[in-house]
Chain A
Amino acid sequence: MIKPEIYHSLGLRDEDYQKILKILKREPTITELAMFSVEWSEHCSYSRSKKYLRFLPREGKYKVLVGEDAGGIVLDDLAVIFKMESHNHPSQIEPKQGAATGVGGIIRDIFTTGARPIALMDSLRFGPLTDSYNKFLLHGVVDGIQFYGNCLGVPTVGGEIYFESCYSGNCLVNVMSIGIAKRNKLARARATGVGNSILYVGASTGRDGIGGCSVLASQEFCNEVITSNEEKRPSVQIGDPFTEKCLIEATLEAINTGDIVGIKDMGAGGLTCATSEMAAAGGSGIEIELQNVPRREKGMESWEVMISESQERMLACVKKGKEKEIQNIFAKWDLNAVVIGKVTADRMVRVKDRGKVVAQIPADALANPPVYDLASKKPDYLDEIKKLDLDKISLPKNFNQVLLKLLSSPNIASKEWVYRQYDHMVQTNTVVLPGSDAAVLRLKENGRGTHLGGGTHLKGIAVTTDCNSRYCYLNPYRGAEIAVAEAMRNLVCVGAEPAGITDCLNFANPDKPDRYWQFKECIRGITDVCQFFQIPVVSGNVSFYNENPQDAIYPTPTIGMVGILPDINQRCNQYFKNEGDEIILLGICKEELGGSEYLKEIHSLVKGEIPELDLELEKSVQKTTLEVINQGLVNSAHDCSEGGLAVALAECCISRRSWSTDNREKKIGCKIDNLPSALKTDALLFGETQSRIVLSAKKSAVNKIKSIAQKNNTPLRIIGKTGGERLIIETDKRKVIDLPLDKLENSWRQD
Chain B
Amino acid sequence: MMIKFGVVVFPGSNCDQDCFYVIKDVLNQPVEYIWHKETKISGFDCIVLPGGFSYGDYLRTGAVARFSPVMNAVKEFAEKGGLVIGICNGFQILLEAGLLPGAMLRNKNLRFICENVCLRVEKNNTSFTNLYAKKQVLKIPIAHNEGNYYLDKNSLEELKRNQQVVFRYCSASGEINEKYNPNGAIDNIAGIINKQGNVLGMMPHPERSAEKALGSEDGLFIFKSIVKFTQKR
A residues within 8 Å of B by Cβ? 146, 150-153, 240-243, 245-246, 332-334, 419-428, 430-431, 442, 444, 446-448, 454-456, 568-569, 657-663, 665
Q: Is the CB of B56 within 8 A of A240?
A: yes
Known: A428-B207, A428-B214, A447-B17. A242 touches B114 (CB 8 A): no
Known: A151-B57, A153-B52, A241-B56. A425 touches B25 (CB 8 A): no
Contact flags B166-184 to A (C-beta < 8 A → 1, else 0): 0000111100000110100
Q: Is the CB of B180 within 8 A of A153?
A: no
Q: Is the CB of A446 within 8 A of B25?
A: yes
A residues near B216, Cβ cutoff 8 Å: 659
Chain B, range 21-78, C-beta contacts under 8 Å to A: 21-22, 24-25, 33, 35, 51-53, 55-58
User: In the complex, A456→B214 CA distance in Å?
Assistant: 13
Main secondary structure, interface of A, reads loop
Known: A442-B213, A660-B171. A425 touches B141 (CB 8 A): yes
Least Cβ distance of A680 to chain B in Å?
41
> Which residue of chain B has its CB nearest to the CB of A417?
B111
Q: Is the CB of A245 within 8 A of B12?
A: yes
A residues near B115, Cβ cutoff 8 Å: 420, 661
Known: A242-B55, A426-B15, A431-B214. A662 touches B171 (CB 8 A): yes
Please name 20 pairs of A and B residues whose Cβ atoms are closer than 8 Å in the assembled complex, sorted by A: A151-B53, A151-B56, A152-B14, A153-B14, A242-B53, A243-B56, A245-B14, A245-B56, A246-B11, A420-B114, A423-B114, A425-B114, A427-B18, A428-B18, A446-B21, A448-B20, A456-B25, A659-B216, A662-B179, A662-B180
Least Cβ distance of A462 to chain B in Å?
14
The reply on B118 being an interface residue by CB < 8 A is yes
User: In the complex, A573→B218 CA distance in Å?
Assistant: 23
Contact of A423 among B112, B171, B179, B180 (CB under 8 A): B112
> Which residue of chain A has its CB nearest to the CB of B214?
A428
Known: A428-B207, A663-B180. A421 touches B111 (CB 8 A): yes
> Which residue of chain A has its CB nearest to the CB of B113?
A420
The reply on B117 being an interface residue by CB < 8 A is yes
Number of A-B contacts (CB under 8 A): 129
Contact of B15 among A153, A568, A657, A660 (CB under 8 A): A153
The reply on B123 being an interface residue by CB < 8 A is no
> Which residue of chain B has its CB nearest to the CB of A455?
B25
User: In the complex, A88→B52 CA distance in Å?
Assistant: 28
Contact of A663 among B12, B172, B182 (CB under 8 A): B172
Q: Is the CB of A151 within 8 A of B12?
A: yes
Chain B, range 201-233, C-beta contacts under 8 Å to A: 205, 207-208, 210-211, 213-214, 216
> Which residue of chain A has its CB nearest to the CB of B114?
A423
B residues near A661, Cβ cutoff 8 Å: 115, 117, 179-180, 182
Q: Is the CB of A425 within 8 A of B111?
A: no
The reply on B124 being an interface residue by CB < 8 A is no
Known: A428-B208, A660-B117, A663-B172. A423 touches B143 (CB 8 A): yes
A residues near B17, Cβ cutoff 8 Å: 427, 446-448
Q: Is the CB of A659 within 8 A of B112?
A: no
Least Cβ distance of A512 to chain B in Å?
41
Q: Is the CB of A242 within 8 A of B56?
A: yes
Q: Is the CB of A454 within 8 A of B24?
A: yes
User: In the complex, A151→B35 CA distance in Å?
Assistant: 19
Least Cβ distance of B32 to chain A in Å?
10
Q: Is the CB of B25 within 8 A of A454?
A: yes
Q: Is the CB of A421 within 8 A of B172?
A: no
B residues near A426, Cβ cutoff 8 Å: 14-15, 18, 51, 143, 208
A residues near B211, Cβ cutoff 8 Å: 428
User: In the complex, A243→B111 CA distance in Å?
Assistant: 23
> Which residue of chain A has its CB nearest to the CB of B216?
A659
Q: Is the CB of B55 within 8 A of A659?
A: no
Known: A242-B11, A425-B208. A660 touches B18 (CB 8 A): no
B residues near A423, Cβ cutoff 8 Å: 112, 114, 143
Contact flags B1-17 to A (C-beta < 8 A → 1, else 0): 00000000101101111
A residues near B35, Cβ cutoff 8 Å: 332
User: In the complex, A446→B115 CA distance in Å?
Assistant: 24
The reply on B116 being an interface residue by CB < 8 A is yes
User: In the complex, A455→B24 CA distance in Å?
Assistant: 9
Q: Is the CB of A659 within 8 A of B172?
A: yes
> Which residue of chain A has its CB nearest to the CB of B19?
A428
Contact flags B134-147 to A (C-beta < 8 A → 1, else 0): 00000101010100
User: In the complex, A332→B52 CA distance in Å?
Assistant: 19
A residues near B205, Cβ cutoff 8 Å: 425
Which 10 A-B pairs give the minimum distances between C-beta atoms? Answer: A153-B14, A242-B56, A151-B53, A660-B172, A660-B118, A663-B171, A659-B116, A446-B21, A454-B25, A423-B143
Q: Is the CB of B11 within 8 A of A333?
A: yes
User: In the complex, A223→B115 CA distance in Å?
Assistant: 43
User: In the complex, A423→B205 CA distance in Å?
Assistant: 12
User: In the complex, A455→B21 CA distance in Å?
Assistant: 8
> Which residue of chain A has its CB nearest to the CB of B177?
A662
User: In the complex, A333→B56 CA distance in Å?
Assistant: 13
Chain B, range 91-122, C-beta contacts under 8 Å to A: 111-118
User: In the complex, A430→B22 CA distance in Å?
Assistant: 15
Q: Is the CB of A242 within 8 A of B112?
A: no
Extra contacts, 16 of them, besides A422-B112, A425-B205, A662-B171 (Cβ < 8 A), are A150-B53, A151-B56, A245-B11, A420-B113, A420-B114, A424-B114, A426-B14, A426-B143, A446-B17, A447-B17, A454-B24, A454-B25, A456-B213, A657-B116, A659-B116, A661-B115
Q: Is the CB of A334 within 8 A of B11?
A: yes
Q: Is the CB of B182 within 8 A of A246?
A: no
User: In the complex, A454→B57 CA distance in Å?
Assistant: 30
A residues near B179, Cβ cutoff 8 Å: 661-662
Contact of A444 among B16, B21, B114, B173 (CB under 8 A): B21
A residues near B180, Cβ cutoff 8 Å: 660-663
B residues near A425, Cβ cutoff 8 Å: 114, 141, 143, 205, 208, 214
> Which residue of chain B has its CB nearest to the CB of A444?
B21
Least Cβ distance of B146 to chain A in Å?
12
User: In the complex, A444→B211 CA distance in Å?
Assistant: 13
B residues near A447, Cβ cutoff 8 Å: 17
Known: A242-B12, A425-B205, A661-B182. A150 touches B172 (CB 8 A): no
Least Cβ distance of B58 to chain A in Å?
7
A residues near B118, Cβ cutoff 8 Å: 659-660, 663
